[in-house]
Amino acid sequence: MSQSTHVTSQVQRYIITTAEVAGNISDQIIFYGQQDHADLFIQSLVIKYPFINAIYVDIDSTVANLPYWSYFTYRDGDSTVIQRGSGNISSCTNEQAQFKKLIKQNETGWSEPYLCDRNNIVVAAYCSPILTETPSGQKIRVGEVICELSLNELNRQVNSMKIGKEGFAFLMSKDGIYITHPVTEWILNRSIYEVNEKVLKEDVVSTTDNVLADTKPGTLIAYPELFNFEKALVYYVPIRQNGWVLVSVLPYKELFEPLYLPVLQMLFFSVLGILIIYLTVTYIINRQIKPLSLVTKQLKRFSNLTGPYKDIPENEIDQVAESLNYMKSWYEKYLQTQSDEQKKKQQRQEDMNQASEIQQSFIKTIYPAFPGRTDIDLYSTYQPAKGVSGDLFDYFFIDDDHLVLTMGDVSGKGVPAAFFMSVAQTTIKTNALVPKANKIVEKVNKELCTNNQHQFFLTLFLGVLDLKTGILEYCNAAHTPGYVLTKNAKVKELAQSHGLPLGLYPDKSYSSAKIQLNKEDTLVLYTDGVTEMLNENNIQYGNHQLVENIKTLAGQSPKEMIERLEKSFKLYKGHAQQTDDITMLIFNYQV
């Protein structure tokens, strides 16, 4: 059972990782495809996970702005091969038939194992749908990601199990087909439904159906061919992720023959022990009543930790009293240890509070932001989900006529992400020397890549506003789109993206876009904590609801807009917990 648990955890690790890789690809493939990095993205995953045999991506041709709609990456010896195009791509005879079955399921799931004749490896495929969101917020399926898990490593793990002298283990699919087995010729060629009637001595179909349908580990009696139809104990463990079953088999004679002598010895010593205990208790009751009073005093003293010691006779009771003294000393040390742990916990909490205070010192909270100017007005809100946050926003002048506005979100959580946010915010200020949004972003990206040892990345919206002309030049590095609200309640979405998040590729170049702001136009910037906020029914707030609320706030000052939106967030969230940081910056152009 112990070895089965270990091997099951290894099998589940490969299964879960393969499913997670497919899910991550389906979530990000359209974005990487639009950036023409999809093939490198998929190839890096095949290289990183040696147990993945191939990855197949098929995207509906209705998805716009893609150079290719199909990608196929597979292992060829020690290298990987990438194919891409606009139609179905595969290089294995059995793949297309299995892929069609998975796609018909219209949901995530595993295929039955099959032999890939390209490299003569037994594999199983996992399908994850590619979903996009319509303007109305509905999720639609626009393609599939299929990952092939190589079963060679699973076969090695299962065959490495040492169960007694003659025991063995094997893995079978949810349909009872052997995926791994000590007899190599049986793999994919035999099913548990085809075993000889002598093996189970019961109805084979009924027994097999019960094993495959069971959701918990179990045992049964069998008479395997490999044991010449001798009695054996079978222990099976279902793998809940895909319905596979790990089966371990051990001859009955190995289970019980070594126990006969220990059982007799145990019975002998049990009887002898009972006899000795009986004689000892009888002796204590008849001859040692007086020393028991000392034991009582010691017990009382141990309970209240007060009172003097008295001389104890040198006998068996004296040993008990000394044991109580040892327990007292141990208990005192235990109390001291508990006190030290409490102090350490308080110190950690104080450190977290200090980290939060340090981060708060970087956040601008004094308004009006520029008391001496009447041509602009802005206001912000900053609500960390926990003590520290990975969101950042800032505004500052490069010169008298150019104002920089930033809004960003750091990957990860906790203190490391908060410190990376502080570094990023300082880096932006030190590199904002010329009024060119894309040039500032490129310099910041290069410095963040140089100092990014923990592989954090930053999504960033950076705009440079010429206050004389009202022209806003902005660069969006994979951040949420901004909105411009006109005085007549119309909303323009700044949806154009200009590159990948910062901190990943030091030599990456970025473009920018421009928009003309007119008098009383309002710019709204925010992080994804706003649109991904969940209510009590686990439904997101969404971009559509944010835009509709912004339209109703035309003519309001930035401070009034922030306060109205905060009330809207609170009402929508209800009693649900805040799961992500919420940050907004609203700027009004009054020239």
Q: Can you read off the two tokens belonging to residue 375?
A: 């041509």
In whole angstroms, give the CA distance from residue 141 to residue 582: 30
Whether the pLDDT of residue 402 is over 70: the answer is yes
Model pLDDT for residues 291-306, shown as the tens digit of each residue: 655 555 555 555 454 4
Sequence-ordered list of residues with C-beta below 8 angstroms from that of 160, at least 6 positions apart, any chain? none
Residues 589 and 520 sit within 8 Å (Cβ to Cβ): yes
Across residues 530-541, what is the average pLDDT? Answer: 93
Q: What is the amino acid identity at position 390?
A: G
Residue in the block written with tokens 């473009």: 511
Contact 66, 72 (CB under 8 A): no
CA torsion through residues 466, 470, 471, 473, sign: positive
**How many Å apart are CA 162 and CA 168, to the nearest integer?**
7
Q: Which residue has the tokens 């999504």?
A: 459
Between 483 and 421, name the one with better pLDDT: 483
Q: Which whole number is the average pLDDT over 77-99? A: 76
Model confidence at 461, pLDDT cuts 50, 70, 90, reads: very high
pLDDT at 409: 92
**3-class SS at 552?**
coil
Kindly state the average pLDDT of the residues 561-581: 92
Longest CA pairwise span in the chain (Å): 108
1 burial level (CB within 10 Å; 0-12, 13-18, 19+): exposed
Interval 317-338: pLDDT, tens: 565 566 566 667 777 888 888 8
- Over the range 382-396, which residues count as b (16 or more CB within 10 Å of their CB) and which as e? bbbbebbbbbbbbbe
Structure-derived torsion over alpha carbons of residues 497, 503, 507, 509, reported in degrees to the nearest 10? 20
First to last CA, the chain: 76
What local confidence, expressed as pLDDT, does residue 355 receive? 56
Q: What is the token pair recorded at 470?
A: 């009202």
Q: How far apart are CA 202 and CA 210, in angstroms?
A: 12
Q: What percent of the chain has pLDDT over 90?
A: 32
Q: What is the pTM of this model?
A: 0.45
Q: Are 101 and 126 in contact (CB under 8 A)?
A: no
pLDDT of residue 309: 46
pLDDT in tens, 348-397: 666 666 656 666 666 787 888 898 888 899 999 998 887 777 888 999 99
Of these ranges, 20-24, 218-222, 420-424, the one predicted with the greatest mean pLDDT is: 20-24
Q: CA–CA separation, 225 vs 194, rounded Å?
A: 12
* pLDDT for the residue numbered 159: 80
Which of the four pLDDT bands, split at 50, 70 and 90, describes residue 138?
A: confident
Tell which phi-psi region holds residue 56, choosing left (phi > 0), alpha (psi between -120 and 50) or beta: beta
